[in-house]
Chains A and B, each alone.
Chain A
């Protein structure tokens, strides 16, 4: 390699580096990754803190750095869990022992105590005056990477940045309101429904400034996960194993970084067709067909749509893709619904979804599931 070439290379890279727009970094404990939007501190403080933080998907916190540590080192210690979460949201976890169920299969009571959900859970928290525990239920999705926006030295990071972005009252639909009110460690919890023993008036938010002190007191902190799904809430009519088998993959939830990450109660399975090096599709296993229809109405109605699930962004991008050859490709995502499966598959926009080989492959695999579905669970 000639010196002249090296000089040109260095000059070119230097010029490129100089072109990078560098703003003054408002150095703070944590900021979200680039794919997420930062809610500025002033915005957070002026716009109703809970909703402002919660609406910003992905704005969650690495509390291991910032929050007072608990016995396990986790911010919301659920190590005293009486019924440990299962490895996957599939049948086999402890049955509730009750016949009273909500329409999505979650028990209405647990050990004789009422299980609050959605607005009723929020109302219960609002009415609480001390740490007396109570039970709440919700659907939880895979845990997301944790980051935090700018937080001043006298602010309470646990309140400002701790909103959960992977929970909902209905499977497949994130509830920012519920997420803003909950502080439950679900990092070891597979996607599915949970009943959690919670309390309000936690000492970790006792120092909140007056501006949001009342909201801090109402935060629900998890003490223990009491129940984590059973046969009544397992994916149906297509099970996790059946979905995995159809795609020739393990029934192990994958870590995602795009749309549909953290969908409550939805297990994401990454599908990497040969000879791709990285996933070309993600099979989202919903607990029921009805849940899928609620979360992704366009895809459920038409069978396939470019419209992502509610509240999620599209993932169109341009990039390299070895499975399609060399060079850059403009890729979009087609959402294909089949029973309780929603498959997000990227396709080459130059070809169109119907002619894309990976989309065709996915459709063929979904067709192989015909006749394999289980009878609906009866409750």
Chain B
């Protein structure tokens, strides 16, 4: 962490490092749910921060986490799209041991969802985005996003009702 701060931002500007401390883990955790791979999530989070630091600060004030999560999610979905050109290594659900060890039923259900749908869930259910905001972040019409969420909720409902208190 300190290495990046020292290399890429002026030493006197500590706001980047503070931001990284505040949001780094949070971003990784969200991206891991979207891509299904904690290692890849780390890479994507780092790439997100690198993009941020090149234009530091990308946005002022409270909108900073929003900027990071939107860029991170878009990077994740772009990476997914790139990989899907050749589907042999699309998403490594089998590598998500962290998920299978804690929430196996939920993860198996999530794994059947497209990553962009998982992204919609993350943005709305975890980060409190409205459907309008999430749709804007993902670059899709609100109706499309609502349809994704509806399908996702149907898919997850049996697990949530049976196993999650």
**Residues of chain A having any CB pair with chain B under 8 Å:** 1, 5-6, 8-35, 145, 150, 152-153, 254-259, 270, 276-280, 282, 315, 317-321, 326-328, 331, 333, 344, 346
Contacts and interface: CB of A to CB of B under 8 A. Distances in A.
20 contacts: A5-B160, A8-B161, A10-B125, A11-B165, A17-B30, A19-B102, A20-B32, A23-B42, A26-B1, A27-B20, A29-B8, A35-B89, A254-B86, A258-B89, A278-B86, A318-B94, A319-B92, A320-B90, A320-B112, A331-B88
Interface residues of B, number: 64
B88 A258 contact: yes
A106 B17 CA distance: 53
B106 A12 contact: yes
A34 B102 contact: no
B164 A11 contact: yes
B86 A270 contact: yes
A8 B86 contact: no
Question: From DSSP, what is the main secondary structure of chain A's interface residues?
Answer: loop
A9 B153 contact: yes
Contacts, number: 172
Contacts of B101: 19
B89 A15 contact: no
A280 B86 CA distance: 7
B103 A19 contact: yes
Contacts of A27: 1-5, 20, 46, 49
Interface string B1-41: 11111111000000000001000110011101100011111
* Best-surrounded residue of B88, B93, B156 (most CB of chain A within 10 A): B88
Nearest to B160: A8
Shortest beta-carbon contacts, A-B, top 10 = A27-B4, A34-B40, A315-B88, A34-B39, A17-B29, A19-B102, A258-B88, A278-B87, A20-B32, A20-B29
Interface stretch (B64-72, B77-85, B137-145): B77-85
Contact of B86 (A28, A279, A318): A279
A12 B160 contact: yes
Contacts of A1: 153
Contacts of A256: 85-86
A278 B83 CA distance: 10
